A and B are shown apart, each in its own frame.
Chain A
Amino acid sequence: MTKKLKIVVLAKQVPDTRNVGKNAMKEDGTVNRAALPAIFNPEDMNALEQALRLKDRFPGSEVLLLTMGPPRAAEIIREGYYRGADGGVLLTDRKFAGADTLATSYALSMAIKKIGPDIVIAGRQAIDGDTAQVGPQVAEKLNYPQVTYAEDITGLDGEKLVVKRRLERGVETVKTPLPAVITVHATAPDCRPRHAKHLMKYKHARTFTEEQDNEHNSYLPIEAKANLRIPEWGVADVGGDEIHYGLSGSPTKVKKIENIVHQAKESKILTSSFEDIDSLIKELFSSHTIG
């Protein structure tokens, strides 16, 4: 007897803040955020792999991606398809805009309730907001247990999921009942590559919004398209109290943003004297390069 699991993977489209090379820098040494490519959040890739491994082990299981973002975040769902996911939902609505982690987790949790999964797998942290708060907050809103920093979802023991966690100074193995939220750490295995067969099949998957947009239109017969429609859900689809969405549902406000200056204006030559080294370290502190 094998169990069939319904697994939701939370994935966010993020600017690639890790590889800020000299070409993504402005003259003044600050990052040109607009020049960073939009990617699948790296730890969400690790999360997807964990979900796909569960599906390999429990045939008939279903892996669905859930992403909240602007219309172009539909790319996340397609990327998931290419790597073996069975479907996905794009949560998109102007009313979601300006969300902090609390409002983000409210929206995600409302959509998850509608899907009704056995397991929710998220990345530990998104590389733009960098908070690692959404996973645990989603768990609380759903009243599910949470297991953070997972490195390996080792399997099921009866009705419970066994998860190996990566902590600061070691590892811990825990057993949790389902449904549960698991957040996956970067030390978990990398995601499998795209599969050519999936790529051929799903490259035409579109949201309704994309279909309306001629630029994205593909020349498929209508019936084929209906099959490949990526659902878009807004507030009206997931319900809930509007006050908890977007800006009004966000207690935290960004008061100020300071751009970090990464680059020294010109190459400086220093001696090994303590004075020279001390002034360098001070400079690194004040530019927040270290801290």
Chain B
Amino acid sequence: MNNIFIYIETEGGKIADVSLELLTKARSLAKELSCEVEALIIGDSVAQHKEELFQYGAQTIHIAEDKRLKHYLTLPYSSIVISVLKKENPQIALFGATSVGRDLAPRVSSALVSGLTADCTSLEIGDHKEVKSGKEYKNLLYQIRPAFGGNIIATIINPDCRPQMATVREGVMKKEPLDVAVKGKVKVIDTAAILKDEDFVVEIIERHIEERKIDIKGSPIIIAGGFGVGSKENFKLLYDLAAVLGAEVGASRAAVDAGFAESARQIGQTGVTVRPKLYIAVGISGQIQHTAGMDQSAMIISINNDPAAPIHQIADFAIVGDLNEIIPRMIKSYKLNSK
């Protein structure tokens, strides 16, 4: 009762990193709230994961195993989560802000008529006093999230309804196993009692891995490479940085003409015009035909070994040096500084 529940997501027979990050976070929240951490895992053969969940601090593991639950399906999965949360009445329930978590959690929150905060990047415990009524609340979950296209950071609370529910972005919290695993309990969920035939009306016909289409226009962070990157192979540096920052890779026309990048990535007068919140220009000189497509970006970082390159003049941060040294350092620093 009144514990913290973490929904454990699995992918390809492994627990998703975000679920372990949430368990790690839940341990410290539980300490502050003097409550316990519980995990809920659903699938066709997931009991094998219990040791790992104990290692990350789950004190009770709720396991729902059923052959029909091999792949994630909204209706049966949400039926189980709703049933367990109704029965156990936790004070907090957390989900990864993954495609599964963001499909599942809102459906659950609607059924429980409890608030849900989307895509949080930080969670804290704090108090609240309602201005109008003067009513005081102790130990609420502060759910901190970017909104408005990343232009504001909002702290959301859920004073009256339980559980306080949130989805949390992948990779923003630390993932740390305990030295000594918890000796916890396992509760097996009777799926046959919960699931109804109507839960299986949506069928998966086919699933396969497919490369995503290039979408530089929609990306809040763009890392664009120019002729100075040198080769198609060396563009990998940019993809590596993009992967950690959650960015898209763009290119100058010279880079596209040289075959370093696909033409769909070209930014500029004859390419696409972008206005992301962060634009990192790498090995791009900054000719007007290029800058016409990006100079309205909210923040620009230029990386160029020529101190006189025009790109430096429109940059908020101009890094003068060799991109081959700078990008690996950026990745290293990102990893050191991200929690």
Q: Which residues of A contact B (CB under 8 A)?
A: 15, 17-23, 25, 30-31, 33, 42, 100-102, 105, 127-137, 139-141, 145-149, 162, 166-177, 186-187, 250-260, 262-264, 267-272, 274, 276-278, 280-282, 284-285, 288-291
Contacts and interface: CB of A to CB of B under 8 A. Distances in A.
A255 B299 contact: no
A290 B245 contact: yes
B148 A274 contact: no
Of the four ranges (under 10, 10 to 19, 20 to 34, 35 or more), the interface on chain B belongs to 35 or more
Nearest to B171: A291
Contact of A270 (B158, B318, B334): B318
A290 B213 CA distance: 23
B111 A140 contact: yes
Contact of B337 (A25, A176, A270, A281): A281
29 contacts: A17-B148, A20-B277, A21-B275, A21-B296, A33-B151, A42-B218, A101-B116, A102-B113, A129-B147, A132-B118, A134-B106, A136-B106, A140-B78, A140-B111, A162-B205, A166-B212, A251-B158, A253-B156, A254-B156, A257-B154, A258-B152, A260-B150, A264-B317, A271-B319, A272-B322, A274-B333, A276-B319, A278-B336, A284-B278
A130 B298 contact: no
A147 B118 contact: no
A137 B150 contact: no
Contact of B149 (A18, A253, A268): A18
A256 B155 contact: yes
Contacts of A134: 106
A141 B115 CA distance: 14
Interface stretch (B42-50, B95-103, B174-182): B95-103
A187 B264 CA distance: 14
A149 B99 contact: yes
Given A131-B118, A133-B116, 13 more contacts: A21-B298, A102-B113, A134-B106, A145-B201, A175-B203, A254-B154, A255-B128, A257-B153, A258-B155, A260-B151, A272-B325, A272-B329, A281-B333
A172 B278 CA distance: 32
A275 to B, nearest CB: 10
Contact of A130 (B74, B147, B161): B147
A31 B151 CA distance: 7
A259 B221 CA distance: 18
Contacts of A137: 106-107, 109-110
Contacts of B316: 263-264, 267-268
A281 B280 CA distance: 12
A215 B74 CA distance: 48
Main secondary structure of the interface of A (DSSP, over half): mixed
A129 B150 CA distance: 10
B152 A22 contact: no
Contact of B218 (A176, A186, A290): A186
B157 A255 contact: yes
A141 B301 contact: no
Interface in B310-339: 312-313, 315-322, 325-326, 329-330, 332-334, 336-338
Q: Which of B74, B114, B151, B320 counts the most A-chain CB atoms under 10 A from its CB?
A: B151
B207 A176 contact: no
B208 interface: yes
Contacts of B74: 136, 145-146, 148
Interface in B209-233: 209-210, 212-213, 215, 218, 220-221
A246 to B, nearest CB: 14
Contacts of A276: 319
A257 B121 CA distance: 14
Contacts of A127: 149
B192 interface: no
B107 A270 contact: no
Contacts of A130: 118-119, 146-149
A100 B115 contact: yes
A270 B11 CA distance: 42
B149 A277 contact: no
Contact of B155 (A101, A174, A175, A255): A255
A280 B74 CA distance: 42
Given A133-B106, A133-B118, A19 B151 contact: no
B151 A268 contact: no
Contacts of A256: 154-155
B304 to A, nearest CB: 11
B320 A269 contact: yes
Nearest to B336: A278
Contacts of B24: none
Contacts of A128: 147-149
Contacts of A129: 118, 147
A288 B110 contact: no
B140 to A, nearest CB: 9
B208 A289 contact: no
A285 B115 contact: no
Contacts of B156: 252-255
Contacts of A17: 148-151
A31 B152 contact: yes
Contact of B215 (A25, A187, A290): A187
A100 B158 CA distance: 11
B202 A145 contact: yes
- Which has the most chain A C-beta neighbours within 10 Å: B142, B210, B312? B210
A272 B321 contact: yes
B75 interface: yes
A159 B109 CA distance: 30
Nearest to A31: B151
A267 B314 CA distance: 8
A258 B153 CA distance: 5
